Structure 1
Amino acid sequence: MDNIITFEDFTKVDLRVGTITDVADFPKARNPAYQLTIDFGDLGVKKSSAQITTLYKKEDLLNRQIIAIVNFPTKQIANFMSECLVMGVVKEKDVYLLHPETKVKNGSQVS
């Protein structure tokens, strides 16, 4: 494996649990995507673009807990500023969201 990182490298990645509070279509995205608004509790609310339209309907995403990296710099995607990276597993071009098995407090750190 060529991409070996140290434990210290891993500790720099801030993975948190948040709840999706709003989902909007993102017609200006290059690939089909949603604009997500996610509540991370004490960390506040962040926005993210996610290419998850093939497996998830907007109404199914509302109030769903997800896991995201919250310490990336803001990235512009078309006319939208993405503030975190929602985590998922890619299988045959579809993205399956990572989520806690049971409901936990928004902002909980993944370790």
Structure 2
Amino acid sequence: MNNSITFEDFSKVDLRVGTIIEVNDFPKAHRPAYQLTIDFGTLGIKKSSAQITSLYTKAELLNKQVVAVVNFPKKQIANFISECLLLGAVDGKDVVLLNPEQHVDNGTSVA
């Protein structure tokens, strides 16, 4: 790795746990994706687009806790505004979502 960052750089990234409360198909996305609505507790409800259709069904995602970056600027994807970025391990074209091993409160900070 040649792009080292400082702890101060890392501390600018706001990683939080949230629970997916709504999952919809996203037919206007260039690659297969879902539109997700995620509850981050006191931080509120945020939306995200995720290209995770190859490994997850809508039923599997509903009520699943996930980890996301919540302080990126909003990004328009087709006709949808994404407000956070889910974290996952990229295995080829598949994305395996990162999530807490045990249930934690929505909005819990990840350090």
What's 1:82 paired with? 82
Cα distance in structure 2, aligned partners of 1:45 and 1:13: 18
Question: How high is the TM-score relative to the length of structure 2?
Answer: 0.99
* 1:59 maps to 2:59: yes
What's 1:68 paired with? 68
| Structure 1: runs of 5+ lacking an equivalent | none
- List per-residue Cα deviations over 1:18-77 (Å, max 9, x = no partner): 000000000000000000000000000000000000000001100000000000000000
| Structure 2: runs of 5+ lacking an equivalent | none
Q: Secondary structure at the match of 1:8?
A: helix
Cα distance in structure 2, aligned partners of 1:85 and 1:49: 8
What's 2:37 paired with? 37
What's 1:95 paired with? 95
Number of equivalences: 111
What percentage of aligned pairs have identical amino acids? Answer: 70
Question: How high is the TM-score relative to the length of structure 1?
Answer: 0.99
CA shift at 1:2, angstroms? 1.6
Letter matched to residue 50 of structure 1 = A
